[in-house]
Amino acid sequence: MERVDKMNDCPWASRLADEYGPTEVGIWRVEGECDNPCFSGSHYTPVLGYFCGTYKDVCAYAESLPKWKTWGHGGSICKIVIIEIDATSVEQLKNAIAEQERLQSELKKVEQQLNSHKVRKLHGQL
């Protein structure tokens, strides 16, 4: 697959290259670079916009935006995933969480049983 850093010779391209393919289509959130390059003080990455298109095109567009680069590292681009919610979504989520908790409890019991067998085997009781 073509890498983003081959599309543009810029310092931030290789950092973003592993995240998405250049022809991946989506809605993208583009944030500018924090203008505080040190590790102390407050940090802020401004949202420069939401854009629809291929990753390659959004990367090229982002590079031209004010505040994309403030000290040379470049901002960030993240694909937006939209989840459709309807009247049953909350109930489905609650049911899924309850099922997850039930399965975690069951897994814990099985792990305790396995550990019990390991201890008995160590003591020659099996």
pLDDT per residue as tens digits for the range 89-120: 999 999 999 999 999 999 999 999 888 877 76
Domain spans, the chain: 4-80, 86-126
Task: Report pLDDT digits (tens) over 37-74.
Answer: 777 778 788 999 999 999 999 999 999 999 998 877 78
Q: Which pair of structure tokens corresponds to residue 47?
A: 């949202």
What pLDDT sits at residue 6? Answer: 43
CA atoms of 25 and 17, how far apart (whole Å):
15
Whether the Cβ atoms of residue 8 and residue 69 lie closer than 8 Å to each other: no
Of the two residues 6 and 20, the one the predictor is more confident about is 20
Q: What is the pTM of this model?
A: 0.60
Helix (H, G, I), strand (E, B) or coil at 38: coil
Please tell me which of 14-18, 50-54, 122-126 the model is most confident about, judged by mean pLDDT.
50-54
What pLDDT sits at residue 101? Answer: 97
Q: What are phi and psi of 109, to 5 degrees?
A: -65, -40
Whether the Cβ atoms of residue 77 and residue 29 lie closer than 8 Å to each other: yes
